[in-house]
Amino acid sequence: MIVDIITITLVVSGMAFLLLGAVGLLRFPDFFTRMHAAGKCDTLGVLLIALGMALEHLFLYDFSFMAIQGAFKFLLIAGFVFVTSPTATHAIARAAQRSEIPMWTRPKKEDR
């Protein structure tokens, strides 16, 4: 019962991070700010979801060998996303900077 509550808390907070990333990807004015929202929120969101599901998987099969193996694989996915997602974000941002995408600047007062 209490494991269910912890799992639901972890998964819902991970989904909140995913939602923040999606809203940031929609709403920000510039490429680099969109990248800033998307890169970090996705990493933490998938990490939290995988941690919650690993905890539940461990208690669902009652700490047998299969349960420990499955939870280890969940942690493997979490670690893999934790390493590769910032790397991909860095590579894409470097490509954007080298191809000279214009940055957003605050509009002047007479324009507003």
Residue 53 structure tokens: 């599901």
Alpha-carbon torsion 61, 66, 67, 71, what sign?
Answer: negative
C-beta of 63: minimal distance to another protein in Å? 15
Contact flags string 10-49 toward another protein, x per CB under 8 A: -xx-xx--xx-xxx-xx----x--xx--x---xx-xx--x
What is the rounded CA–CA span in Å between residue 74 and residue 11? 13
Alpha-carbon span 81 to 54, nearest angstrom = 15
CA distance 20 to 98: 28
Least separation in angstroms between residue 111's CB and another protein is 18
Footprint (CB under 8 A) of another protein, residues 41-100: 42-43, 45-46, 49-50, 53, 56-57, 66, 69-70, 73-74, 76-77, 80-81, 84-85, 87-89, 91-92, 94-96, 98-100
Radius of gyration of the chain (CA): 19
Distance, in Å, from the CA atom of 83 to the CA atom of 46, rounded to the nearest integer, reads 12
> Can you give the binding site for another protein, defined by CB under 8 A?
4, 7-8, 11-12, 14-15, 18-19, 21-23, 25-26, 31, 34-35, 38, 42-43, 45-46, 49-50, 53, 56-57, 66, 69-70, 73-74, 76-77, 80-81, 84-85, 87-89, 91-92, 94-96, 98-102
